[in-house]
Structure formats: C-alpha cells, structure tokens
Amino acid sequence: MIFAEFGITPIINAYGTNTRLSAGPLADEVAEAMRAAATASVDILDLQAAACREIQRATGAEAGFVTSGASAALLLAAAACLARLDAGAMNRLPVTREGRCEFLISRSQRNMYDRAIETAGGRLVDVGIPDRVSGAGVRDASAAEFADAITPRTAGILHVAQPRAEPPLREIIAVARAAGIPVIVDAAAQLPPAENLRRFIAEGADLVAFSGGKAIGGPQASGLLAGQGVLVASALAQMLDLDLPASQFRAPAEFSALSQLAFFPRTGIGRSCKVGREEVMGLLVALRRFTAEDAATRRARWQARLDAVRVASGLEFEAGMAGEVPLLWLRVPDAPAMEARLRAGCPAVHVNPARLAEGILTINPVSLHDRDCARLGELLRAALAE
Ligand SMILES: *Cc1c(COP(=O)(O)O)cnc(C)c1O
C-alpha cells in the first residue's frame, strides 16, 4: 500500500464523503480511467468540450465542464455572473468596477462554502430572518423579500439546494427572471437522488454546482458546473490556462459564446481552481457509472456493506436512512467516549457523530471500503467491550 511507504496508516471511513477524511475509495473503473488519462497528453479545451457533451447528456443543461470541486464551481459561477463575456471585467476580478457585485442569499442558507462567491469578488447580502430555525417564529425568507432586496447592484442569487430549502427554487427563479438576474444553485451534496442532476436545471437554474467526490464517486478534487451556455463559457474562460496568442485560440462548438469576447482575457480569477486531465476523466467515468446505476442497486450496494459490518460485529443496530442512504445506528452507554476510542485506534475508525449527543454512533456506508466492513464490525465490538 502506497500510504505505508510514506508512513501513513489509512483510516476506516464510516463517517461519509468528508473532504477532511478524503471521502471514499474510487471504483476500479474510475481509478483506472485516471491512471490511463495520466499516460497521454490532450488539449485541455478539447477535453472540457468532451466533458461538456457528457454533462449535457447527464443534466439536460446547455453546457457544462469539470471543475476541481463544487466549491470551485461556485467560485467560477460567481465570476461568470460578475463578468459574463466582458473580457475587461474578467481581468479585473475580484474587483468589480460598476458596483454590480451583490449576491442575494436566504439568511437560513448561509454556510461555510458560500465564501467561494466572495472569493470571486461577489458580496453576499442576506435576505429574510429564519425565525423557524431559532424557534422564535414560523417563517423563513420569502420570494417577495428577495424581490424587494434586488437593486442595480445585484449580480445574482445563490440558492443552496436542500429538500426543505426556503423559499422554493421555483419561486426564487420566477423573481430572478422578472429582474433579469441569474440564479446559482449549490447542489454539491444533493445526489442521490440521481434525478437531481436534471431537476434544478429543469426548474430554470442558470448555473448548478455538484461535487464529484461525494455520491457520484468521482475523484475527491472534482466537481461539475452545468447551466446556461454563455455563463458556462464565461466560467470556463476564467479557469483555463489561456496563455497562448489570441490568434491561435478557437472556440469549440460546445463553448461557442467564447467567440463573442471582444479581446482575449488574461489567465483569470479561476486559475487557482485548475483541474487536471486525470480528474476530468475520473469524474466523467464516475458520472456515467452513477447515471447508469438505478437507485435500488445503489442502495443494495450500500446495504451490503452495512450487513457485513453488522454480521462481523454480532451487535444489535437500528436501521436508519439519510435521504436514499441506508445507515446503521448503534446505541451505546457512553457514545462520545466510544467515538474517541474508535478514532484513537489503529486503524483509526471515523464514525458519523450526527447523533452522538443522543448516545448513538452512526455508520454511513458511502465512503466505506468493502474490504473494511468486517474489520469495522470487529473494532466496534471490541470498543464496546472496553
Ligand atoms: C460539500 C459541499 C460543498 C463543497 O464541495 P467540494 O466538491 O468539496 O468543493 C459546497 N457546498 C455544499 C452545500 C457542500 O455540501
């Protein structure tokens, strides 16, 4: 094992797709796609044009490309809304000249990833008061409050997708359409259900960001941005290495809007979001696998891992669900102490702490390697006996 050569002991990841824990193992086919991609050179623009065709098929969007993650996709999406096809504006980001740099977001949707918008030069403006979150009242932000918050400085709206997100995306889109401003959807972790690949686009979102390293099963540092052709082309122009004479550049049909640039922009704000051919190919193969697998097969695959943990442990679990993901819940006398013992072990075991305060350890199968399941069961039993 390569990690041992460098003095690193792999962990058992029963927590989930967390970046901090390097998410889950890649399917052999995905790892092989990355290895094979590494053995040849390609024109990156041609590669992203191929990615565009694949993402069009998977999402129904006009265009798309592979990014280095959902956070990168959000940064690039904001840059696209700020600069559109204005090469001068691209060159100035994160500074905006005309003051049209604000992105509205429901205060209840503020989260640690939204600073990607500000990194590009956007400024977040909170809308509404999420009374229902504090228990002080029953309301969240309304679409009418968004309509009221739009000013000439508004560059877009950021909507963080969730099954119960308020206001509903459809209402936000109606308000944004009426005002002529774009809507970016952060759908990083909204897969499965696989239908969500198409859903936000179908509802009228202008740009949608997905993580590649979560349930799609792509490389950890991959994601995708899908949406309206002009905005996607703008985002791509701000990420690509464009260090070539303008006369040598030709816009591929998938990103034809690039031919509208008045002049050739410099390497852009998104250059730090660089994505390599290995990640692009890994993500595309993972996306094909994800869209080809039906929900029942995916669930059975995850359930089989949980069954292997349960059988090897000989313990009694409760069966839980998080969306379409089956879980095991283990009620123990001192959950925080047991969680710490597992983490301090060798190999370290990371379980999901979502219900720790209730005395419950959660086993999430998404990032769990098949070969670790029986070992995990034994380690759980041993930690409980201690
Ligand atoms: C995970 C996540 C992100 C970041 O995704 P990466 O692909 O790791 O960059 C952004 N937004 C939300 C809501 C997420 O859950």
pLDDT of residue 183 exceeding 90, the answer is: yes
Q: Residue 115: inside a domain, yes or no?
A: yes
Is the peptide bond between 336 and the residue preceding it cis, with omega within 30 degrees of 0?
no
Judge if 261 and 304 occupy the same domain.
no
Q: Does ligand 1 have an atom closer than 6 angstroms to the CB of 19?
A: yes
- Give me the DSSP letters along 261-311: -SS-PPS-GGGGG---HHHHHHHHHHHHHHHHS-HHHHHHHHHHHHHHHHH
CATH number of the domain at 306, please.
3.90.1150.180
One-letter amino acid of 160: V
Q: Residue 13: inside a domain, yes or no?
A: yes
One-letter amino acid of 42: V
Which atom of ligand 1 is the closest one to the Cα of 222?
Answer: 7
Determine the pLDDT at residue 1: 86
Query: What is the distance between the alpha carbons of residues 52 and 36, in angstroms, rounded to a whole number?
Result: 20
Determine the pLDDT at residue 10: 95
Determine the pLDDT at residue 116: 98
Ligand 1 geometric centre to CA of 213 (Å): 9
Total tally of structural domains belonging to the chain:
2
pLDDT by residue (tens digit) across 1-11? 899 999 999 99
Strand-pair partners of 154 = 102
Q: Residue 217: inside a domain, yes or no?
A: yes
**Residues near 301 by Cβ (< 8 Å), separated by ≥ 6?**
293
Which atom of ligand 1 is the closest one to the Cα of 212?
Answer: 7
Query: What is the distance between the alpha carbons of residues 48 and 339, in angstroms, rounded to a whole number?
Result: 43
Specify the residue with its C-alpha closest to ligand 1, atom 14.
Answer: 188
pLDDT by residue (tens digit) across 1-47? 899 999 999 999 999 999 999 988 999 999 999 999 999 999 999 99
From residue 281, give the alpha-carbon distance in Å to each of 10, 52, 67, 103, 255: 25, 12, 11, 32, 19
Judge if 123 and 212 occupy the same domain.
yes
Determine the pLDDT at residue 164: 87
Given a contact cutoff of 8 angstroms between Cβ atoms, the answer to whether 121 and 94 are in contact is: yes
Judge if 301 and 281 occupy the same domain.
no
Judge if 274 and 300 occupy the same domain.
no
Specify the residue with its C-alpha closest to ligand 1, atom 12.
Answer: 188
Q: Residue 220: inside a domain, yes or no?
A: yes
Q: What is the mean pLDDT of residues 221-242?
A: 97
Query: What is the distance between the alpha carbons of residues 301 and 306, in angstroms, rounded to a whole number?
Result: 9
Ligand 1 geometric centre to CA of 338 (Å): 29
Task: Find the domain containing 58 and state its range.
Answer: 41-292
Q: Does ligand 1 have an atom closer than 6 angstroms to the CB of 223?
A: yes
Given a contact cutoff of 8 angstroms between Cβ atoms, the answer to whether 129 and 107 are in contact is: yes
**Residues near 27 by Cβ (< 8 Å), separated by ≥ 6?**
217, 286, 289
Judge if 48 and 123 occupy the same domain.
yes
Q: What is the mean pLDDT of residues 177-194?
A: 97
**% the chain with pLDDT above 70:** 100
Judge if 151 and 282 occupy the same domain.
yes
pLDDT of residue 135 exceeding 90, the answer is: no
pLDDT by residue (tens digit) across 238-276? 999 989 998 999 999 999 999 999 998 999 999 999 999
What's the distance, CA 39 to chain centroid? 27
pLDDT of residue 83 exceeding 90, the answer is: yes
Judge if 162 and 138 occupy the same domain.
yes
pLDDT of residue 98 exceeding 90, the answer is: no
CATH number of the domain at 87, please.
3.40.640.10
Query: What is the distance between the alpha carbons of residues 190 and 163, in angstroms, rounded to a whole number?
Result: 9
Query: What is the distance between the alpha carbons of residues 55 and 216, in angstroms, rounded to a whole number?
Result: 13
Determine the pLDDT at residue 207: 98
* Domain finish residue from 274, 292, 310: 292
pLDDT of residue 99 exceeding 90, the answer is: no
Q: Residue 32: inside a domain, yes or no?
A: no
pLDDT of residue 133 exceeding 90, the answer is: no
Q: Does ligand 1 have an atom closer than 6 angstroms to the CB of 332?
A: no
Determine the pLDDT at residue 326: 97
Query: What is the distance between the alpha carbons of residues 106 and 199, in angstroms, rounded to a whole number?
Result: 20
Judge if 203 and 57 occupy the same domain.
yes
Burial (CB < 10 A; 0-12, 13-18, 19+), residue 332, is middle
Determine the pLDDT at residue 227: 98
Q: Residue 36: inside a domain, yes or no?
A: no
| Reported confidence tier of residue 101, pLDDT bands at 50, 70, 90 | very high
Determine the pLDDT at residue 385: 92
Pocket test for ligand 1, best of 15, 68, 113 (most atoms within 8 A of CB): 113
* Domain finish residue from 259, 292, 325: 292
Ligand 1 geometric centre to CA of 168 (Å): 20
Judge if 304 and 282 occupy the same domain.
no
